[in-house]
Structure formats: C-alpha cells, structure tokens
Chains A and B, each alone.
Chain A
C-alpha cells in the first residue's frame, strides 16, 4: 500500500469514527449579546428566573380583564368562546377539563402564557405591570392567593398551585 493510500484510509477511518465533530465548524452564527436578545427573551422559569420588574394586584387586574379579556373568557373568568380561567372542576376522569386551579402546576406559567400569547388578537401588547395584575386577578378569583396580595417577581414564584404535587415524570431517564 502506498503512503498516500495509507494516509487517506486513515483519514477516512477517522471521519467515519467521529462524524459529529467537525474539524472546522462553519462558524456562520453571529455573536449576539443578551442585551440584544432582550426583546425576544420572554421565558419565565418556575423558580422565577426571567420575571421582570413591576407588580400588580387583583383589583388592578379586574379592570384590565374587563377591558381586554372578558370578550373571550367570559364574566368572572367563567369561560366564553375561550376557556374558563376561573373554576376548578374536580378531576374525576381522564377527560376532565383542565383549568388553572385544578391542574396547572406552576403560578409562573400563568404569567408566562398571558404575557407571550394574550390577548389572542394582539399578543405581547400588555405591559409587565398589566400581566402581573391579570395574574393576581386570576389567582385571587380562584382563591389561590388573597384578594389584596401583590404579585411581583418575588411573590409570584412562591405561590403554590393546588395540583402541584400530582405530576409524575413519565420518562425521567430521557432528561
């Protein structure tokens, strides 16, 4: 076997053995700073990471709800053309309607979803104070927090949801 041939089969063998690691990555991603990502970075984690400054109460939230939410979610949050946000039907069968109060595991998810997805026709137009206020209103209407509790980055993650302990991770080995 010629030297050249031997070398090329060695190169080939290495390439086959480690296909994932590129010797020379294309490097076509442009560096970006977290400050530049800020407008898109709306993830809220269950320990409160990502919650913005600001605060709100149920009383403030009631006014915003009446203006921006009631058309779809109904009077008192009892449901309309869109899902109820207040109410906790007991979980008696696998097709029980899942609500914030009977099912959701984390209070931070309420803030996260309202901020990223609501109002349906004009998402991400609420101020952070408005989202805190709506979160407080929904949690208070469901008797998960008191009527006068203030929701902010410190208080919200501490709110324990009624169904929090009823989840089983199906495939823990996949995580």
Chain B
C-alpha cells in the first residue's frame, strides 16, 4: 500500500529558488521530499521522544453549557481586530482584520474590517427606511421587511477600503503586520436584493447617470455611484455570511458594489437619489481623491485593482526551525477572477506557480498556496497576482515611480488614502525572524 501511494505522489523537487516546491504536491494525497535526503534537511525535525499520552482534565469532566450564541475558544483571545481609535475620539475609527491568524477565504463577521467615520448608529430595523427618488418615474420607499420579501441573490465579495495598504507608500518599509498593513479588506458572502430589481420598479429617467447614495449615520455619509454600476452587479445587502449585517458593516442594510472601493458601499443605506451629475461629496472629492506626484489628483478611482499578499508566514510569525512550511495568502481583483498567482522566495529572482483554492470567484478572495522547504537561510517571500482581465500587480519600483511615495514616515494607522496594489515582501533571516522590506 505505502509503496503504491508513494509512487503516485509527485516528487518534490524545488521549482524555484530558496526551496519553493511544486504546487501539484498539494493536490496529491501524500507529499514526498525528493531533495530531503540529499540536502540533509529533515522533513520531521521534531525528533525528541514523545511523552506517554494520558487523559487531560477536560476529558475527565462534563463540558460547559451550550450557549445560544457561540464565541471562539478562550485560547483564541488574541484573534481580534486592531483598533485605530479605541476611545472613540471625534474622528474616524478603523478595525483591521487579522489575516495572519485566519485561513481560507471567508472573514468571520466578528472580524470583518470596519471603518466608521462618526461611530456606529444604533438603528431599529422596524423604523429604518430606504427611499429611491430623484430622476425616476415613481419614487418609492421600502421597509426592511418589504425588502426581505424580494427575490434575493447571494455572492461572495471582498470589500476593501480604498486606502487599504496605503502605508506601503511609506519611504521606508513600516515594520508592521499584515493586519496593520492590509487589514482594511475582508471577504464575505453577501445576500440581498439586486439594485436593478428595485430600479426596475421605480423606473429610471434616461438622463440619470448617477445615484447619490446616503447612509442613516450622523454624517449622512454620501457617495455618488454611476447608474451603470447599479445596473451591473450592485446589491442592497441585508445578510453577511448568512446572518444580518453587523452594525459596524451597515446594519440593517448596505450598498454592495462588488470590486469597488469600500467607502462607496454606503452603510446604513437610507436614500438613493438618481441625478444627472455626481454629488461631488466630501468623501469623493476630498478623502478618496488621491494626490499624484505631479500635484494633480485622481477622482472616481472606484476599482480596487488586482492585489495579493502573503499571510502565512508573515511579519511577526517567526519560523522556529528549518523544514516544511506552506506559504499561503490572499489574492483578489475588482476586475474579475484571479487567473494566476506566482510566489517567490528569493526576492523576485525566480517564481513558482501557486495552487489556487477552488472555487475561484469573481471579485472575491482566492486563497493561494505553495509548498516550501525552508533551508534555514535568508529568504524574501513575495506574491504577485494576475486577474482574468489580464491585469497584473505592478512591481513596487514601477508603481511608486508613477504614484509617488509619502514624504514622511506615516503612522501605520493614519496615512493619506491612496490605492496601493503593488507587492508586499517579507524578509526572513537565518534565525527565522520576519521583517517587512521593499525588494
């Protein structure tokens, strides 16, 4: 039996520098390290004799009462979001997703990132209303209950702040975790009513080009969305990963604009006004218009372009010993499905193709994985993604040449909102310590 299995398993020769192995090894049932003997690297370095097994205390007593709403094990207490404004000072509050402590593609609702510009409103769904008006044939008002009776759709979608990863514009690499650098993106299954269904009922004046969307928060946060996007794949979302949307994510309903910058997915959605011009609101003409090196600025960037980053291993997760590791991370694109992810362990000199976890869905997280045998020497890990539209993550040198770098070292939680979709590099030294570098 064993012999036969071994013959079927792919032999793991390195396919790129510094020990990257063939992704096809992940598809088989067994992994065999062809190079292990010849390089002298043990595949099972923990050789100390095991202690005899015995029952632990929890196996010898009745367990806890089953709660109505379950929460993670107390041993997972460090798996939390990082807060930029824990005392609720009168400014924006960010909560970042701990990507280095999660796996798979779904962000649990309790860990989904949120940005709230003026706190989280306490909305009674029985009193909440959504009104659609302006350049329509018949203005309509909807209750939460009435929307819940509409034909619904479910889809996976990432939501990413336009300024996620903007700390990467720092002139020197910030020594910060993947959570601090890239934690303003999360991925969930959203369920709700296609906006096109509701617009079909109101009717649209052919001269309407924009929809000025507004929330029920104290800022009445407002963004302008092209009618074109509304009729393409926009949704009035009511559910997040199967349960009602979290308060910080827009309870009782939010606009979902798959692939587009998070601020436009207006939370606590209460009003959609069809117009022939954009509102030029504070958040679109100020915060999320980004300055370019020549002093001009991009307006209506909208799309979060193809991006990937390695979550395992990453900053803060030292490698304890040489041997086998899985390199894994997240890739996504606001322009469709991920087509390919390459991973390098030698700072971009050579690349190995990563395995993409199925199903690979449009405008949603794709988990990529590459088997790796670390030989205990210095290595630089990078990932680079392509989407089905043919877009590729730009290399950092080229990217900052076009987009510029910040003049000063920013606070990791407080930087100018700028779209960043270049590479992230983690340098591992011969002790296994991981630093953030530009490579």
- A residues adjacent to B (C-beta < 8 A): 20-22, 25-34, 37, 40-47, 49, 72, 81-82, 91-96, 98, 103-106, 108-109, 112-113, 116-117, 120-121, 123-124, 166-171, 174-175
Contact = CB atoms under 8 A, between A and B. Distances in A.
9 contacts: A29-B140, A30-B142, A31-B138, A40-B270, A94-B292, A117-B282, A168-B292, A168-B298, A171-B302
A174 B302 contact: yes
B132 interface: yes
Nearest to A115: B220
B302 A112 contact: no
A30 B295 contact: no
Given A22-B200, A29-B198, A92-B407, A117 B219 contact: yes
- Which 6 A-B pairs rank lowest in CB-CB distance, beginning with the nearest? A29-B140, A93-B407, A28-B146, A95-B406, A113-B282, A94-B404
A95 B408 contact: yes
Chain B, interface size category, equals: 35 or more
Contacts of A104: 285-286
A167 B297 contact: yes
B299 A43 contact: no
Interface of B: 89-91, 118, 131-133, 138-142, 146-147, 149-151, 169, 194, 196-198, 200-202, 209-210, 212, 214, 218-220, 222, 226, 228-229, 270-271, 273, 275, 277-282, 285-287, 289-293, 295-303, 403-408, 410, 415-416, 418
Nearest to A92: B407
A123 B296 contact: no
Given A120-B118, A123-B219, A174 B226 contact: yes
A106 B219 contact: no
A163 B301 CA distance: 18
B416 A45 contact: no
A85 B118 CA distance: 18
Most A CB contacts (10 A, CB to CB) among B142, B286, B302 go to B286
A98 B271 CA distance: 28
Given A166-B296, A168-B296, A91 B291 contact: yes
